[in-house]
Structure 1
């Protein structure tokens, strides 16, 4: 694995995108001071993840971005991409080429990429450590770092040797493990503190939840007992209600049968009522008989007149008689006109009275129907009132009034001539009904007041209407009879006047005829006499038929009256039976209403005891017959309710709080167990890593020590050099623990860091391992390296560096003017050693030394123009030598 290319854009003085390609061996970068050649080393150190601005020779993060010049404006971003050839899989990644990119912007934002994919700094460090790269060790040796190796403390040198021993990747893993261990211990401490905090509350909640569970058990048992207790009570009430409803159905059926019988009798009475009354029928028959009798009398009178006319004809009366008859005929004609007009008017008035009577009878029938409906409503109201009070006296009074009312109706059906008596009886019934309603309303002020008020007003109104309608019917009937009598009298008068007019007219005719032709007049009068005799014979036959009709009517009327009296008696008996049946129905309605009220009270009690769902549960429970002792169940319900009172009220939110607290406790317990297991695993892993690091370090230290002595003797042409491990006791405040180093490294990488644990007294002092360097140039006594000259220190550092590279070669090493302090001879020896080591690792040297340049295979020159931008010029040494040789042969 080696460095194949580096692309620089915007980093420090490299404003333009610049690419430097490398080959195995030694690549030298040369140029005058200030040209920016050391910026190449800084770019490599920066892309490897260097975070120290001091090592990058800057103060702020944007100092690495091209700051601009008089001729070139500054840039907003710096980017460096390093391409590594990984065909030998020196890095544990399945790519033949690895491109590591780092960018930074002026706003401080930055990013890392591996093969153009975002990555973390930690990922890059681990990848480089596995490939023997070091961020701050011997992979990039900057100016002054050679001398720093010698003057640094033994503990600081130890980090360099860890890198050289190839344990850097294990150190990183150990640092990560230490960081995780510190976080795990801190998290465990915090978790245990929280558990100690919530443990008392959890114990209290546990006790409350147990009480709540006990309460739930008692409530469940209580609900089951209540279901049986209320189910049995509900079952008993339903059974009692079913018996009463069955009896009520039978009583209603009996009442309805009696009602139908009553309606049949009522209908027959109404049929008789609709027929004409006895007086009217008898008047009609008598009127017809009188009319026929009058007709016979007229015929007899006419017969007498005709006899007189015969005598008159014989005497041949004079003209004076004719004048008298003419005058009498004119008076009779005027009389007929007057009587005819009066008769027509009377007929019209009679028709109007008949129409009014029909309307009054229809209104009375409607009022009776309304009264029946009201009776039914009153019965229903009476049943409701019975829930709250006893109504035997009210019911008895109402029944007595109803019987009087039906007696009044029967009287109206039988005869309506005694209007004054009917008025008094109707007024008395109205007053009784008013008193009865007052008693009902007085008893039921608290029971359906609106319904009682409405029914009271309606009953009073119907009573008034009935009384008025009775009066109207009686008045219309009396007036109709009077009008009919007047009409009959007018008809008689009209018939008499008409008969007299006819007689006088005939007399005039006869007189006129007698005056002209006496024989003819006599013959005509004889014919009239014969006609009258025949008419009298016919009238006698009709009189006989009229007498028979009157006799038949009297017989039929007698039968009808007997039937009417029988129906009235039957009506009263059936009415009494109906009232008794209605009383039974009402009594049963009261019983049903009381049982239903008990059922409603039980339902309300169930809702109070078991909630809104209680009635539905009881309904489900009684779907099948239940058995049990109600008193014993009531005692059991009381006992369970007492237990609930002893348990007391518990907030239902306790369960939720307990679940949350217990869940949190279990979560913390599980986390604590996982943390303890993780701590144990981390401690074991750290111990294993310590063993690996120790074994590898010991082996590498011995090899590096031998190689250091050999290289030292080569560079100094003799002498002696030695590395020794030392252990020192230092205060904890003077140095960082491994965990603190790991935490500092994580904080530097931008990772979350837990607060460090406070140090105990036993941690105030600790034993640390360091490395001491002893070097004795030839001809001098063994002394401290601080006493060496600058050139000797440089050679000693180079010897140490070469020993490390020889033992654990890095894929490439960048040397930034490490040979600046060497003289010509030592430069030659240093160049020779580099040439030997170039077979193991790749070198990129930034140098002014010619001896080093001569060993390079590629030479890059760096210059800077007026715009302050560094530019590159490359030369391959083998190609340059070939060109020189060709020119020399010429």
Structure 2
């Protein structure tokens, strides 16, 4: 069994919590009128999602909550306060996983509060009404609740419009879930079509802007390509210029280093020559000293003449020593003459400082000799002393002669040294002139090299400046990591081409990165919309196919189900009425119905043609033929006949696609004993297909129910549930 248990608390007359177990195929609920037994059917209807308060025999949600009872001053009926909440729970057996949950039991619960707020739960977890309805629809317990036949609603299907009948039959056949899916798919299809329109509208709005941005972006990309090409040429030009400058600098360095080395060597040679000039200065100083010695020699000769005169005077004064004096004087004169000759010779060849010193020393000795002579002349009385003086003078003159010889030798040596040094000085002077000329030339060349290097450096700086200026003018940022672009242009051609390209780039307006980014974003948006549009169209096609499949399945299942229902409807109808015919037909309406649930003859709505008949949704027409009666419309049926016809149709529906359970609330109230027995037999047959909960007063019905629940109500207005036996139920009904 699927329907296991019903739990009611605070709902209508059930103030206290009651639990009804449904372990058998048929369960009967009996009780006197007004005991609240129909509230059990209302509780089941309500927990399954019923929203119509009229169907629940109330006006608002608060009417479903126990409103209190008892009182009146009677001790046997104490006052019971009203409750603030009503709740009902249905417990289903889910061992076979009929519901898509892993639980062995499925509990569907609903609660209402006096403020009108409703709560829904599935297995204790909060849920929405939609969740409950969707879940119940999957097992054939749809919103139309054709499986719950309320009190007085046994012939409701006969009073329904053709369209309502069709909906009831569709739900009875289990097609409601497909209808829901179809409606959802159609809603999704409508939403998809709306989204397609929105996407197409957005694309139409974007397209002119995309085209404009595409043109601007193309210009920017062309400018970017031109800029990149310009960069390549600039890099090539700069790289080649750098290479040329590096090569020329290297060539200059190859010249500069040897030239610098040669210049240093020449400077060293010049310095050495300058040292030689310093030696020449020393020689010149020596010559100046010899000249000074010549002057002193002249002075000495003058003194010699003076000495000679003095000697002559002495001779005259000392006639007694004439011979001696003459010899001495002659000797002195000879010495002096020789000295004069030597001095003159020395003056001719250029004596040195040593000769001058020797002459000076000899001169001093001559002075002393002359002084001695003078003393001798004065002191004629001392002849001996004069002789000694003359001897001394002679010895001194001899010494002077010796010194003279030394001076002559020194003069010869100095003369040779002078000649050697003069020749060496001449050679060094010639070399100095040669080195000086070479140094001057090297320095000129060095200045040219330095000037060339400065020119190259100036070119390099100008090149780098031009490069930076080009980059600054033609791009905001440049990675500069591209390889040199090899071409056949020479320097001048390349420079001119760079300038032409730069002018073209300036005329093109440069690169607008913002436009490129905006175009990329807009194009991406357009492509996204295109993809979305494509996806939406595919989704639309898929949904249309799904709707078509659902429509085909609904039509096929409905057509096949309608055939099966017709067969069973006719069978049950014949069993109940002992013959006759019964049929349901799918027809298109010919005019809009002017009545709702008040009209019985649904056939009247198909009498006159309607201009929209081709587009109108078809409905179900019921045709019956009771034995021995001419029935032209359902309105001609008696109350019992309507009830029996409805029962036959309901049983046919429940047999073709049995619901999990079927609630029948006093559907047998209008039956006589014979029909009640047939009704009971039909219940037994139907219980093989579905679980039955029967609310009844009928003894025949109670007899086929293994489980009986009795409902009673005391003076406090609270309904109570009792499990009773058939005899107790019959007694209760008899007493009632």
**Residue number in structure 2 paired with 1:231:** 239
Question: In 2, are the aligned partners of 1:4 and 1:85 still within 8 Å (CA)?
Answer: no
**Residue number in structure 1 paired with 2:7:** 7
Q: Give the drift of 1:22.
A: 0.5
**Residue number in structure 2 paired with 1:157:** 165
CA distance in 2, matches of 1:132, 1:627: 88
Q: Deviations over 1:490-518 (max 9, x none)?
A: xxxxxxxxxxxxxxxxxxxxxxxxxxxxx
**Residue number in structure 2 paired with 1:788:** 637
CA distance in 1, matches of 2:170, 2:479: 85
CA distance in 2, matches of 1:246, 1:714: 130
- Work out which of the two has the higher radius of gyration on C-alpha atoms and give 1 or 2: 2
**Residue number in structure 2 paired with 1:808:** 657
| CA distance 1:66–1:262, change in 2 (3 Å) | farther
Map 1:714-729 → 2, pairs under 5 A = 714-716=575-577, 720-729=581-590
| CA distance 1:795–1:626, change in 2 (3 Å) | closer
Map 1:467-616 → 2, pairs under 5 A = 588-611=449-472
Q: Is 1:836 aligned to residue 685 of structure 2?
A: yes
| CA distance 1:583–1:781, change in 2 (3 Å) | same
| CA distance 1:22–1:614, change in 2 (3 Å) | closer
CA distance in 2, matches of 1:165, 1:835: 21
CA distance in 1, matches of 2:595, 2:261: 115
CA distance in 2, matches of 1:721, 1:260: 144
CA distance in 1, matches of 2:619, 2:661: 27
**Residue number in structure 1 paired with 2:208:** 200
SS of match in other structure, 1:700: helix
**Residue number in structure 1 paired with 2:347:** none
Of the candidates 548, 564, 576, which is equivalent to residue 687 of structure 1?
548
Q: Give the drift of 1:784.
A: 2.2
**Residue number in structure 1 paired with 2:191:** 183
| CA distance 1:786–1:230, change in 2 (3 Å) | same
Map 1:612-631 → 2, pairs under 5 A = 617=481, 621=484, 628-631=489-492
**Residue number in structure 2 paired with 1:386:** none
**Residue number in structure 2 paired with 1:216:** 224
**Residue number in structure 1 paired with 2:495:** 634
Q: Is 1:846 aligned to residue 695 of structure 2?
A: yes
| CA distance 1:778–1:218, change in 2 (3 Å) | same
**Residue number in structure 1 paired with 2:92:** 83
| CA distance 1:711–1:584, change in 2 (3 Å) | same
| CA distance 1:95–1:615, change in 2 (3 Å) | closer
**Residue number in structure 2 paired with 1:26:** 26
| CA distance 1:47–1:263, change in 2 (3 Å) | farther
| CA distance 1:262–1:96, change in 2 (3 Å) | same
Question: In 1, are the aligned partners of 2:64 and 2:86 still within 8 Å (CA)?
Answer: no
Q: Is 1:670 aligned to residue 506 of structure 2?
A: no
Question: In 2, are the aligned partners of 1:729 and 1:768 still within 8 Å (CA)?
Answer: no
Q: Give the drift of 1:29.
A: 2.2
CA distance in 2, matches of 1:256, 1:57: 129
Map 1:312-351 → 2, pairs under 5 A = none
Q: Is 1:99 aligned to residue 106 of structure 2?
A: yes
Output the TM-score relative to the length of structure 1. Answer: 0.53
Question: In 2, are the aligned partners of 1:68 and 1:75 still within 8 Å (CA)?
Answer: no
Q: Deviations over 1:59-94 (max 9, x none)?
A: 66677666788755745684524213554x7x3758
Whose helix fraction is larger, Structure 1's or Structure 2's?
1
Question: In 2, are the aligned partners of 1:8 and 1:14 still within 8 Å (CA)?
Answer: yes
Q: Deviations over 1:824-862 (max 9, x none)?
A: 665454334323322332111233444433332212234
Q: Is 1:700 aligned to residue 561 of structure 2?
A: yes
| CA distance 1:712–1:79, change in 2 (3 Å) | closer
Output the TM-score relative to the length of structure 2. Answer: 0.63
Question: In 1, are the aligned partners of 2:65 and 2:84 still within 8 Å (CA)?
Answer: yes
> Which 5+ residue runs of structure 1 have no aligned equivalent?
270-277, 279-554, 736-761, 885-890
SS of match in other structure, 2:693: strand
**Residue number in structure 2 paired with 1:799:** 648
